[in-house]
Structures are given as structure tokens and as C-alpha cells.
Amino acid sequence: MKFASQHFAILGAGRSGLGAARLARLHGAEVTIFDEGDKAKPVEDFPCVLGQPARDLVVKPGDFDLVIISPGLDEHWPLPKKFTDAGVPLVGETEFAFNLTDMPMAAITGTNGKSTCTELIAALFNGCGMKSIPCGNHGMSLSEVVASGVRHDVLALEISSFQLETIKNFRAKASLWLNFAPDHLDRYPGMPEYFAAKARIFENVTADDVAIVRAGENVSSGQAQRWTFSAYGAEADYTYAGGKFYLHGGEIGSAAGLKLRGKHNMENVLAALMTGRVFGLEFSAMLKAMESYEPPRHRCELVRTLRDREYINDSKATNLHALEACLRSQERPIVLIAGGKDKQLDYTPLRAELKGQVRAMVFIGEIAQQLEQTFGDLLPCKRGKDMAEAVSIATELAQAGDAIILSPGTSSFDMYTGYAQRGDVFRDAVNSLN
């Protein structure tokens, strides 16, 4: 029992924290879960300190042997600092689980597209006879996977900047950098700090590892072999053009059988193909395996077509880069529904993306008025008090042949529990139209 007679503090009563608690106890540790949230629920079978008692907590030297922090918490926030100021060593949930497994990993980071690419990579491996699971920042936490005792040939691990903040030894056989764009400025002092956190994915790689990097991304990939990809005409090792995939200019397969659409998704396919090659898979088998992959909900998801108007749910676009990618992937004129939580982002660069493509805009949420002021001189703009009204207004503004797209460009927490609920409400509103 690796941690017998030791007492660990687990910060965060969500999925990552619970997974870490189970994994620590599996290895003999006594654990206590702490969460400052008033709405946090006691976790069955684990001692918990929640809400005000957690905020009032006093930690003395020697109380705990280790503190494991969930990715939603910043190690510099008051609760974690109570432990570190008392001399308790701190480790992130992902790093903790990494140190307790030898399963091979493909780690995927980027501002946008991580979840789609992670799912696609897992589907590719499973379709080619190698057992895999999407996990990390998407699906099961890494601690949950390791604690389950189920052996996988390759883990498809989505890893966020929050998780990378606290790594020490973490590295993956294939490390993917999909893209980088402004986001999470409510967590980081500025863009350099956000970039530095994500770039840690390459901190511990060796010459035996592979860095899979989108062409044109100015990030160091450390000692790893660097493979590049592009679906937008940039010079790269792996490319997509005209419905075909290429390696160094030689055709390696077709996109005809895939359900994914849009150049941004073709880059996800390229990244997945490259990951498979790191583990010795053949292109034809990988493309065949990906033909059965269904695109995830809330990411450029076609909800329905009504009177030649397409209604597209892109609720997962929680930043401007994702919104811009959605707009560039469309061929129809657009009536755009956008807005949500104020993340202190600058929306003025989006003006150049709208001209000639977006017919009108409908705004919702906390930043609706701000967006109306930003774009009101450029094209017709209206505000909806809720999603149902926004869909109704967008339908009135649209013409036959248009696409009505929910692509908010920011997070949803001003109105919803998350992007999934926001997308579900949009889908319900669309399906209620006659």
C-alpha cells in the first residue's frame, strides 16, 4: 500500500476530486475532501468539509501529508494556500494519477477542438483493435480511469491549461497542440501566462516522443520529434485539401466517408491520423475506423432544417477563436446568436469575420448590450431576453438558404449550468418552431 498511514487532503468535490480520493484510498491513504462551495454535496464514504467550514479551515503543519488539487481551483487561491503555507506538498489531480500508471497516453491540448479530437482519437484506436478511452478534461478524469483498474492500450487524454499548471513529471508519447487563442482571461493575468500554462505539455518530452503541432503555431515542442498539420493551405507535414489527406504531398486517404464537416474538423482528423501513426497504425484502417464516428453535440451540430433554413448548435464555442472557426466552416449566409458571460474578451477583431458572411446578429446574456454596441453599426443587431426569444428573432431575420447558428463566443454561466445546457435549450427552442 503505497500511501499507507498517510492523510491526504482532496480539494474539490467534483469528478476529478472524487476520482483522486478513490485512487488515493486504493493505495492506502486516508482522505478528506474539502470544497468551499455552498452547493457542494457530501460525498458518500469520504469525510467532507464543505462550504463555510472549508472557508474557515485552519491547517497546521503535520495535519496532512499531501494535498491534491482539482483543475478548477487555482493553487494560489485561499483554500490551497492554507495547505501549502502549512508546508503540505501540493500535486494536481492529473499529475497524481499519472504517477500511478504506466498506460501509454496521447495528450491533447489547445484552445479549441480538444474534445472532438480526443473523442476521435479514442474512436480511431478502438476501431483499429486497440483499447482506448477519452478521458482527462473530457469524460472520466485520469484518476477515475486509473482507479478503475481497467487496462487500456492508449489513453486519449484531453488536458487543459488548468491541469497543466501543476504537472511535474507528466509527459505523453504523443503530445498534441491543436491551436492557441485568447481565453480564460478571468483565470490568468494575461495571455503570456495562459500560453505558458498550455506549453507545459512539452516540458518533459523526450526524443522518443512526438509533438503534433498545428502549422504556424509559435510554441516550442522541447526535445520531441515535431510533426505539423494544416487544412488551411499552410506548409506542413500532413495536409488536407479538396477532400483528400496528404503526407508530404502524397495522398493518404479521402474524407468522403467521414461524418465530420468543415476544415477545422479536418484538422482534427489530421491530428488523429498522426497520433495513430505514432502508435504504428495504418492510414486506411484509421480512416475506416473514423467513418463510424458521430460528431459531438453542441459543436457545429445540425439540429434541423426548416423552410430551407439550417439551425446549427455550436454552444461549445465558448471563446472567439471557436466562434471564428465556426463562421469560417460555413458555406451559407449566417444569422448569428451570440453572447453570454462577460469573460473580459475583446470582440472587435470579430468585425472582420462578419463582413459578407453574417447577415444579422442576435445577442443574449450578460454581454448582450456590449456586443450590440460593438457590432450595431456594421449590420442588423437585436437582443433576446432568453434563448427562445433569440431563436424567434433570428428566424424572422433569416432568409431561405441561411444558417441560424448559436455560436456564443463566450461561456454560459450567466444563464446556464454549462454549454451543454445552453445547447439543449437552443435545440428545444428550434424543435418547437412550426
DSSP 223-250: TSEEEEEESSS---SEEEETTEEEETTE
Give the percent of the chain with pLDDT over 90.
81
Give the percent of the chain with pLDDT over 70.
99
Query: How far apart are the C-alpha atoms of 91 and 418, rounded to whole Å?
Result: 27
Determine the pLDDT at residue 185.
62
Helix (H) / strand (E) element for 409: namely none
18 or 180, which is more confident: 18
Are 276 and 348 part of one and the same domain? no
Assess whether pLDDT exceeds 80 at residue 97: yes
- Mean pLDDT on 61-69: 98
Query: How far apart are the C-alpha atoms of 109 and 99, rounded to whole Å?
Result: 20
295 falls within a domain: no
Q: Choose the final residue of a domain: 95, 128, 151.
A: 95
Are 221 and 266 part of one and the same domain? yes
CA 198 centroid distance within chain: 12
19 falls within a domain: yes
Span 267-324, pLDDT tens digits: 999 999 999 999 999 999 999 999 999 877 898 888 899 999 999 999 999 988 889 8
Helix (H) / strand (E) element for 361: namely strand 358-363
Q: Identify which of 388, 378, 384 has the alpha carbon closest to the alpha carbon of residue 357.
A: 378
Grid coordinates of 225: 520529434
Determine the pLDDT at residue 96.
98
Determine the pLDDT at residue 45.
87
Over the Cα atoms of the chain, what is R_g? 23
Pick the range with the lowest mean pLDDT from 95-109, 176-190, 248-262, 283-297: 176-190
Determine the pLDDT at residue 261.
74
Structural domain tally of the chain?
3
Are 142 and 198 part of one and the same domain? yes
Average model confidence (pLDDT) across the chain: 94
Assess whether pLDDT exceeds 70 at residue 62: yes
Confidence band, pLDDT 50/70/90 cuts, at residue 93: very high
Q: Identify which of 329, 298, 333 has the alpha carbon closest to the alpha carbon of residue 404.
A: 333
CB 309 within 8 A of CB 150: no
Determine the pLDDT at residue 213.
98
> Quick count: other Cβ atoms within 10 Å of Cβ 296?
15
CB 267 within 8 A of CB 114: no
Q: Choose the final residue of a domain: 95, 114, 139.
A: 95
- Mean pLDDT on 207-220: 97
Q: Identify which of 10, 46, 6 has the alpha carbon closest to the alpha carbon of residue 29.
A: 6
- Mean pLDDT on 234-257: 96
Are 129 and 231 part of one and the same domain? yes
68 falls within a domain: yes
> Quick count: other Cβ atoms within 10 Å of Cβ 274?
23
Are 250 and 345 part of one and the same domain? no
Helix (H) / strand (E) element for 117: namely helix 114-127
1 falls within a domain: no
Q: Which domain holds residue 80?
A: 7-95
Determine the pLDDT at residue 186.
66
Bridge partner residues of 240 (DSSP): 245
Determine the pLDDT at residue 329.
77
CA distances from 360 to 196, 318, 352, 364, 397 (A): 37, 20, 14, 14, 7
Are 168 and 282 part of one and the same domain? yes
Confidence band, pLDDT 50/70/90 cuts, at residue 103: very high
Confidence band, pLDDT 50/70/90 cuts, at residue 85: very high
> Quick count: other Cβ atoms within 10 Å of Cβ 249?
7
Confidence band, pLDDT 50/70/90 cuts, at residue 255: very high
Determine the pLDDT at residue 10.
98
296 falls within a domain: no
- Mean pLDDT on 240-255: 96
Assess whether pLDDT exceeds 80 at residue 420: yes
Residue 10 has phi, psi (to 5 degrees) of -110, 120
279 falls within a domain: yes
Assess whether pLDDT exceeds 80 at residue 189: no
CB 166 within 8 A of CB 201: no
Are 87 and 129 part of one and the same domain? no
> Quick count: other Cβ atoms within 10 Å of Cβ 72?
16
Query: How far apart are the C-alpha atoms of 19 and 31, rounded to whole Å?
Result: 12
- Mean pLDDT on 97-123: 94
| pTM exceeds 0.95, yes or no | no
CATH number at residue 316: 3.90.190.20
131 falls within a domain: yes
408 falls within a domain: yes
Confidence band, pLDDT 50/70/90 cuts, at residue 332: confident
CB 44 within 8 A of CB 20: no
- Mean pLDDT on 194-211: 96
